[in-house]
Structure formats: structure tokens, C-alpha cells
Structure 1
């Protein structure tokens, strides 16, 4: 039995407005099924449509750890733009200002959403550690399973400074210190302060 969706549900899946869906209907781009006066969209047909839409769409993703590295972030994005310009019809530009070990980064979640909705065929990054500091192969396998290739372009000058790695290490130590509920916390805090001073 076909799964039929209302126009609002279909618009959310496709990531477009209801008015865009109505316009596409007039253009013959995506035809709904009429149930009385209401429109219904076949879920499987929407998935096919998303697959077609992703044939020539990619995402470029840049990340830095802190706001004082915004210039580095813009350099990453500009470098990636040059890698993809003229090759694809649609390019999503996704950015994060957050540690590479932080969960729930808005940009990373957006990449996952685009991949799940089959809106992109590839993700371009300058280096694997831009996507994640740890577990890159798991992320790569996850995106591949969704039909999305992760392409790491050698950014050379885009390589991050060592201080970003230190910030990630501090975040890891701070996280573990919190989990120890005070056990040897003073020693760990002292080590973090020493690391910051270094």
C-alpha cells in the first residue's frame, strides 16, 4: 500500500515551501495525487525525486574551532568553492565554528540531514579532521551508506594551526575531569592549566 503524504509533510521532506510544491505541480515537475480536493504525495515518488535532485548537488564543509579563526574558515570555503565551481548545479555551503570533537555541531547535523534526504551526492572537505577529530572512517562509512561520497581535498595551506589541536585536547581533558566527579579533579585541572600555559 502506498504511503501518501499531505502537502505540508511533502514540503518538509523536500526542504521546500508549500508554494514551491504548488508551482512545481503547475510546471509538471512533481505531480501529486488528488484525493478529493486535497493533494497527496507518494512517499516513494518523493524519494525518487530527491535522488534525481541529488545527481548534480554537493555540499562543501568548513570548520574551525573558535571565532578568532573566521578568516581561516573563509579561506577553506573559498578553496572548496574553486574545487567544485562549474561542476555541479547546486552547491550547499556548510560551516561550523566548534571543536572537531563536539557532538551536535549545527553544520555537521545539516550535512547528515542533506544526506538522509538524498539532496547531495558528495561532501567536499579540505582535510579529514575538518569533518571530525576522531572516528573519520565511521563518518565516511555512514555517509557512503547513504549514497554520499566524502571527498577530502588536500588543502595544503588550509591545514589548521597547532593551537586548534591543543584546544581539542583541553576539551577532552575537561570532559574527562567532569566525568570523574571530583576524583583527582584538582590534579587534572592543574594539568589543563599547564597545557593552556604551554
Structure 2
């Protein structure tokens, strides 16, 4: 298989070699609408996606609808995510694959996410859709976006701002971060870790109480 640079734009001579045709043939294909070109000044460039399409290497028209919640008590929210994504993106693709996870957005061992990455690596999907960026991952969204893009898979995000509806999940993820760093500093079995974790829980509980509206 040919190797490409991500989002590369090929000059006509390069594109002709990759496609195994004469430059004049490529110019004729452009006029006939068989291939799209982008003009940069007086020079035409051919997008990598167009070359892949003509070579039959384009990813199939399949979208992964990916949904995630942190706990089993949030299964209703998981189903709502799937329904919203299906309504928004289902009609735009020939086929839909639904993948879900119950686990922290900090976890790197989520089966659904790993399956989506595998499908992308095997070029079996064209896009992956999520309701919010943090449904895909709590941190490092740009890295995952880069990963999927390298295999020709677009990441579709319905709402770009952070999902703040699941406040408890944010608290649990924050505690997981504190515990992880404290464990590296003091050792995971140290009483200091437990003490710090309890202090953070109490502080978050006080903040939650302060944020509640006063009853008349």
C-alpha cells in the first residue's frame, strides 16, 4: 500500500505517478469532474483523499457513535447519548456502529474506545461521533483526534464545550487524579494518600453545599 503524508496536497506530477496515469489524463479527469483539484496560485494540487478514493482506498461510509458514562447508575444517560448521536449523524452515513463504555474518561483501557481505535486502524470507518469531547476522553482530546485523523477518520463533536451535566463524574475524575499523583509522591499504601483523599472529598463536599441555592 502507498504511504501518504497526513492531509498532503500533491503536485500534478506526483499525483500522476501515484495513480499510474499521464499528467494529461489527470488534467482531463479534473475537467470531467472525476477528481477534484485545489488551485494554489497558478498551480493545481490534488488532495490525498481524492487519490485514495480513485485507488479504492477510501474508508467505507461508516460512522461510530461513541457514548460513555462513568457509572452503571448512569445507563439512562448512556442511552440518551446514543439516541442524540443517531439522530444527528445516522442519516449522514450508510452504516452506523454503536460503541459504549462505562468507566472514567481518564481510563485508557475502555473496550469501546479501543474497538473504535482498532476500526480506525483497519480503515473500516470514516468517522467517530461523540456528544461532548470529554465523552471520548477527559484529557488529551487533540491527541486522539490526531490519531483518528491519521487513518482518515473524522472526529465529529456535537457540542464542543465541556459536558457539565454529570458533576459527580467530574468529582470522581478529580479524586482519581489527586490519588494518582499522591501515590507517586508518597507511595500508594501510604496513610498520607488516604488522608489527602479524604481532605479533598471534604473540600469538594463543602463547595457543593455552598453552590446549592438557598431555600426561602
Kindly provide the CA deviation profile for residues 133-183 of structure 1, in whole angstroms up to 9, marking residues without a partner as x: 011111111111111000100289x75321111111111122223333538
Match of 2:72 in 1: 67
Match of 2:181 in 1: 176
Alignment partner of 1:108: what SS?
helix
- Does 1:152 pair with 2:141? no
- Does 1:90 pair with 2:95? yes
Among 186, 194, 197, the alignment partner of 1:192 is 197
Match of 2:27 in 1: none
Match of 2:210 in 1: none
TM-score (norm 1): 0.67
Contact 2:69 2:75 in 1 (8 A): yes
Kindly provide the CA deviation profile for residues 105-154 of structure 1, in whole angstroms up to 9, marking residues without a partner as x: 10110010010011111110001111110111111111111110001002
| Worse-superposed segment, 170-179 or 64-73 | 170-179
Alignment partner of 1:150: what SS?
strand
Among 95, 98, 104, the alignment partner of 1:99 is 104
Contact 2:186 2:192 in 1 (8 A): no
Measured in 1, the distance between the counterparts of 2:111 and 2:164 equals: 22
TM-score (norm 2): 0.62
Measured in 2, the distance between the counterparts of 1:177 and 1:138 equals: 26
Contact 2:133 2:160 in 1 (8 A): no
Measured in 2, the distance between the counterparts of 1:149 and 1:137 equals: 12
RMSD: 2.3
Relative contact order, CA 8 A, sep 6+: which one is greater? 1
Match of 2:115 in 1: 110
Q: Where does structure 1 lack aligned partners over 5 or more consecutive residues? A: 1-47
Contact 2:183 2:193 in 1 (8 A): no
Q: Which has the larger radius of gyration?
A: 2
Q: Where does structure 2 lack aligned partners over 5 or more consecutive residues? A: 1-54, 206-216
Identify if the C-alpha distance between structure 1 residues 160 and 185 changes in structure 2 by more than 3 Å, giving closer, same or farther.
Answer: farther
Kindly provide the CA deviation profile for residues 28-66 of structure 1, in whole angstroms up to 9, marking residues without a partner as x: xxxxxxxxxxxxxxxxxxxx77x45x3311101001111
After TM superposition, give the deviation of residue 193 of structure 1 in Å. 1.8
